[in-house]
Amino acid sequence: MDEVRIRAAGLGEVAALLDFWGRAAEGVSITDDVDGVTRLIVRDPDALLVAEGDDGAIVGTVIAGYDGWRCHLYRLAVDPSLRRRGIAAALLDAAHERFVALGGRRADAMVLDRNELAQHAWAGAGYEAEEQWSRWVRPLGGPRAGA
């Protein structure tokens, strides 16, 4: 692979993105389905960035979500056979450029505690864990936990 092109994902790629994440990403999210990814692309067509190889195949992704206040990064994934070739760095550079253009001032990333490979990659990109924070979640649409 000589070079990658970074671009926004399209609606026609939702199935390919889910397949790619099944091979290249660690863990799954409640929104890792056709409906969830479609809603993301429809709501913010520039948020899901794709690294495309010479043959047009998806070789990497990152979701660069911006809510007008905070910059959030999700689903940084690179094809396992193509890691350590600068693809993740190119995706993060594009995400950072998007955030700066939108007025963002700080980016954060969701990283699984058990995913040591990802922790090393994020640290190498200049990110630091903030041990004073914990993520609190609640699935929507069902009964409240503990109720």
**What confidence tens digit (pLDDT) does each residue in 122-142 have?**
899 999 988 888 778 777 776
The verdict on residue 143 lying in a domain is: no
Q: Output the furthest CA–CA distance in the chain (Å, rounded).
A: 55
How many Å apart are CA 97 and CA 8, to the nearest integer?
Answer: 13
pLDDT of residue 109: 92
Q: What is the mean pLDDT of residues 84-88?
A: 94
Q: Which domain holds residue 65?
A: 5-124
The verdict on residue 47 lying in a domain is: yes
The verdict on residue 140 lying in a domain is: no
**Count of domains in the chain?**
1
Q: What is the mean pLDDT of residues 29-36?
A: 88
The verdict on residue 132 lying in a domain is: no
3-state class (DSSP) for residue 48: strand
pLDDT of residue 147: 57
Q: Which of residues 6 and 27 earns the better pLDDT score?
A: 6
The verdict on residue 44 lying in a domain is: yes
Q: Which of residues 44 and 137 earns the better pLDDT score?
A: 44
Hey, which bits of 4-145 come out as E strands?
A: 5-8, 48-52, 58-66, 71-78, 107-109
The verdict on residue 54 lying in a domain is: yes
The verdict on residue 137 lying in a domain is: no
The verdict on residue 70 lying in a domain is: yes
CATH number at residue 67: 3.40.630.30
pLDDT of residue 136: 80
pLDDT of residue 29: 80
